[in-house]
Amino acid sequence: MLRFFLRRLLVAIPTIILISIFVFMLQKLLPGDPVLAMAGEDRDPETLARLRAKYRLNDPLFVQYWTWITGVLQGDFGNSIRTGEPIAKLIGQKLPVTLQLAAMSMFFATLIGIPMGIISAVKKGTKTDFAANVVALSGLSIPNFWLGIMMILLVSVHWQLLPASGYVPPTEDLGQSLRTMLMPAFVLGTGLAAALMRHTRSAMLEVLRQDYVRTARAKGLIERRVVLKHAFRNALTPIVTLLALLFGELVAGAVLTEQIFTIPGFGKLIVDAVFNRDYAVVQGVVLVTAFGFILMNLLADMAYMLLNPRLRKN
């Protein structure tokens, strides 16, 4: 198992390096000059030259990249061009918010998607299967921003059950924090639940056709035990893959939902950074997001080893 982990780690390291180079070079191609934004109305040549020297923007690209990446390896992502705050501090403030939203969204997705997928596979061809597929297709088709707006109008404005926007850290008030996160987490979770339901159904249908499932039924085991212990456990591998990818996608793609519900997370941070041409913040956020994707895939690989003992022999 250690050799398996080391092999995956050796693949992940050059991937992160390539991503860091891509992120650094891509932001250089973006239009606009951040120095002009920093200078404000005082755009005389002396001020512009001083700012370029301060942020080492006159250095060759490879020197700028080396300076940046060596700082990142030491936990220093640089400072925000607009506010001067350390980017590591901004990430430390915003990342827990998005992780909380992603975790709650994944909870809703798992709670809805996996049971629906199992039931749909077991009841294949019935009205229950048809209804589950209709719900799944609806979840995939409805845009998150529209569902978010409709839920605000219905749940917050009409019924006045939950706050329409804002965020309260769980360290301050856990109950209020969960209340503010329920709607955005549900909005994000429904789309993921639809995808998870379809993948679970496909995986279960494949497993339910296997000989060992028929053997288990022939032994007289109750259907629930056959489905959950014998079939679902062996169908978990593609589901775990999808869960890892979906969680990484949640962390990276909650931009619209965070904007609609005014949640001060990663999405709002990167949107503000793009509009303000704060490229240093954009670099830091994208790099951390990419690292999160790679980490989730690495954890998924480790989960395979635990779920499928045959892989430990390779």
Annotate 10-56 with DSSP letters as a single string: HHHHHHHHHHHHHHHHHHHTSSS-HHHHHHTT---HHHHHHHHHHTT
User: In the chain, what are the domain boundaries?
Assistant: 2-73, 93-313
| Paired strand residues for 79 | 86
Q: What is the pLDDT of residue 292?
A: 81
Hey, what are 44's tokens? 């005389």
Which CATH superfamily groups domain 93-313?
MetI-like (1.10.3720.10)
Q: What is the pLDDT of residue 314?
A: 54
Residue 246, C-beta contacts closer than 8 angstroms, at least 6 positions apart: 106, 109, 192, 195, 196
Q: What is the pLDDT of residue 43?
A: 66
As a whole number of Å, the end-to-end CA separation of the chain is 8
Provide the residue-wise pLDDT of the chain in tens; the chain has 314 residues: 667 677 777 878 888 888 888 888 877 776 666 666 666 665 677 777 777 777 777 778 788 888 888 888 888 888 887 777 888 888 888 888 888 888 899 899 899 889 999 999 988 888 888 888 888 888 778 888 888 889 899 988 888 888 888 888 888 888 888 999 999 999 888 888 888 898 899 889 988 888 888 888 888 888 888 888 888 888 887 788 778 777 777 776 677 788 888 888 887 788 888 777 777 888 888 888 888 888 887 877 777 777 666 655 55
- Total residues found in the chain within this entry: 314
Q: What is the pLDDT of residue 37?
A: 63
**pTM of the predicted model, to two decimals?**
0.80
| Paired strand residues for 86 | 79
Query: Pick from 176, 187, 102: which is nearest to 153 by CA?
Result: 187
Q: What is the pLDDT of residue 136?
A: 83
